[in-house]
Amino acid sequence: MNQSPGIVLVSHSAQLAAGLRELLAQIATDRVPVALAGGTADGGLGTSYDRIAEAITEADGGAGVIILPDLGSSVLTALTVLEDHPRPDVLLVDAPFVEGAVAAAVTAASGADLATVAEAARQARGIAKLEAPEAGPQPTSGAEGSRVSAQVTLPATLHARPAGRLAQEAAKFTSAIRLEYGAKTVNPTGVLTVMSLGATAGGTVTVHAEGPDADAAVETLAAILAEVE
């Protein structure tokens, strides 16, 4: 399936939803359908049952839809729509409104399926903005398979799109994988986790992997890092 999962942004404010869609268009791609259900029908603050239902239809290109609400009553209204029109391929996702939308859009743009996009949005809840990222799984000396590392000098800043590709590819391997940049080490299976490295052009990112497919993991991720533009 070539169509990307769609995203519905449910907000009390039409301007807030529109601004977030503008942000997603800049850091993801226009290939990801993003529909808005912001404000009430008369232009006020609030949520609208009809707007949510219409936005689901607008965002649905055949690969499913995730709904991201901002505050309490938007959740309740979205739940009511889904109760009246239940569909297994329309998911209401509990995630931070902005960070969840960014993670979902970048992951969808990388070619991921509905479940992966929804999980990327959920994982955004655990990404700290100011604290150092938590270290990812640490390979142990008893792990089966080889231990491999590779250093890559970034040709450009590690932004959202390559971060999304890294996260999607890293999730395919069974080996324990880490990305290291400066004093930070992260598990690269989450797009916002990768972005939290803050890796800039000219900096060196080291890919570590240990396990049965470590060679392939390092080769794949290093190639993505070397092509950042």
Domain assignment present for residue 130? The answer is no
pLDDT of residue 129: 67
Q: What token pair was written down for 28? A: 């993801």
Residue 144 has pLDDT above 70, yes or no: no
Q: How many domains does the chain have?
A: 2
pLDDT of residue 140: 43
Lowest mean pLDDT among 92-96, 146-150, 153-157, 188-192: 188-192
Q: Which of 12, 85, 159, 208 is catalytic?
A: 12
Domain limit, last residue, from 93, 125, 157: 125
Pair 117, 183 in one domain: no
The string of DSSP letters for 119-160 reads HHHHHGGG--SSSPPPP-PPP-TT-SSEEEEEEEE-SS---H
Domain limit, last residue, from 58, 92, 125: 125
Pair 10, 119 in one domain: yes
Domain assignment present for residue 43? The answer is yes
Range of the domain at 117: 6-125
Pair 13, 109 in one domain: yes
Q: What token pair was written down for 179? A: 């990305």
In our burial notation (b when 16+ CB lie closer than 10 A, e otherwise), range 30-50 reads eebbbbbbbbeeeeeebbbee
Backbone φ, ψ for residue 162 (5° rounding): -65, -30
CATH at 191? 3.30.1340.10
CATH at 60? 3.40.50.510
Q: Would you mind telling me the total number of residues written for the chain in this entry? A: 229
Pair 30, 119 in one domain: yes
Domain assignment present for residue 196? The answer is yes
Active site residue 12: yes
Could you tell me which residues are beta bridge partners of residue 184?
181
pLDDT in tens, 20-74: 999 888 877 778 999 999 999 888 999 999 999 999 999 999 999 999 999 888 9
Domain assignment present for residue 137? The answer is no
Pair 75, 42 in one domain: yes
Pair 115, 176 in one domain: no
Domain limit, last residue, from 61, 93, 125: 125
Pair 77, 26 in one domain: yes
pTM for the structure as a whole: 0.73
pLDDT in tens, 163-222: 888 887 888 899 999 999 998 898 888 788 888 888 999 999 999 999 999 999 999 999
Pair 179, 115 in one domain: no
Pair 16, 97 in one domain: yes
pLDDT of residue 142: 40
Distance, CA of 134 to CA of 138 (rounded, Å): 11
pLDDT of residue 19: 95
